[in-house]
Amino acid sequence: MSATIPGPDGRPRCRWCAAAPEFLAYHDTEWGFPVDDDRRLFEKLCLEGFQSGLSWRTILAKRENFRTAFHGFDFNRIADFTDAYLERLLKDEGIVRHRGKIAAVINNATRAQELVRQEGSLAAYVWCFEPRPEELAAPQTVSTSSSSIALSKDLKKRGWSFIGPTTVYAFMQAMGLSTIMPRDASFGSTRPTPERPSHCRDSSQRWIDARKTSDITTASYANAAEDRRSPYRLNNTLQDHGLITIS
């Protein structure tokens, strides 16, 4: 079976676009674009959590309602939600009224604040888990990856919830961290070529660059290369050597 389908303009798209009419616009204008905006990253993590056990079509149809209910997914505001506000959300028919998932968003908002204080930004943190090209699976063949498992595990250690490896894998694909298209697929005639944000560098490459321009010891480099999924340690070392600055 082909991994693509013809779009209305005759150009091929990923096969999953056929599941719902609204998926075509989502595919052509959003999915796979590299994102480094903290609020958008947090929103996507939350919406993927809400999707658990449901379909993305359901969540996409309710997305504007979610944005209204959660103040545009501003995690600094969500972290202040009270139990009374949670009860109010449980009565909102425009969203998915699942107590555990709503509570997870509120909890994760606080965890996001902590992460920003530790790592500088949510974007700087998640992009350290970007897989190497050779680690990417063939399109539409897997639902998790070593990178999504590592990111999920690290987030759980930090206290995040509803953040399993399948949820994280969907997030990473949609936000451009691990997007791989079928060879003959396109994004539509109106979609520009996606560009990765300037600071979105693979962690191993950041270490290679650092090794060339600093006095980081061979032992430190070897340790980081062995544990390349440890962005907190990576950021600390790069800051110590003046290679990055987080204000």
CA-based nearest residue to 42, from 150, 166, 175? 175
pTM of the model: 0.76
* pLDDT class of 114 with cuts at 50, 70, 90: very high
Q: Is 14 annotated as a binding residue?
A: yes
Residue 127 contacts residue 36 (beta carbons within 8 Å) = yes
CA-based nearest residue to 203, from 169, 233, 241, 173? 233
Catalytic residues: 26, 48, 56
Looking at the chain, the number of H-run helices and the number of E-run strands are 13, 2
Confidence at residue 135, expressed as pLDDT on a 0 to 100 scale: 76
Domains of the chain: 32-180 (1.10.340.30)
CA-based nearest residue to 229, from 119, 137, 149? 149
CA-based nearest residue to 233, from 213, 214, 207, 200? 207
Q: Read off the tokens for 90.
A: 């449980």
- Half-sphere exposure of residue 85, counting CA atoms within 13 Å on the CB side? 13
Q: Is 241 annotated as a binding residue?
A: no
Better pLDDT: 37 or 247: 37
CA 147 from chain centre, in angstroms, equals 11
Q: What percentage of the chain reaches a pLDDT higher than 90?
A: 53
Q: Are strands 12-14 and 4-6 parallel, antiparallel or unpaired?
A: antiparallel
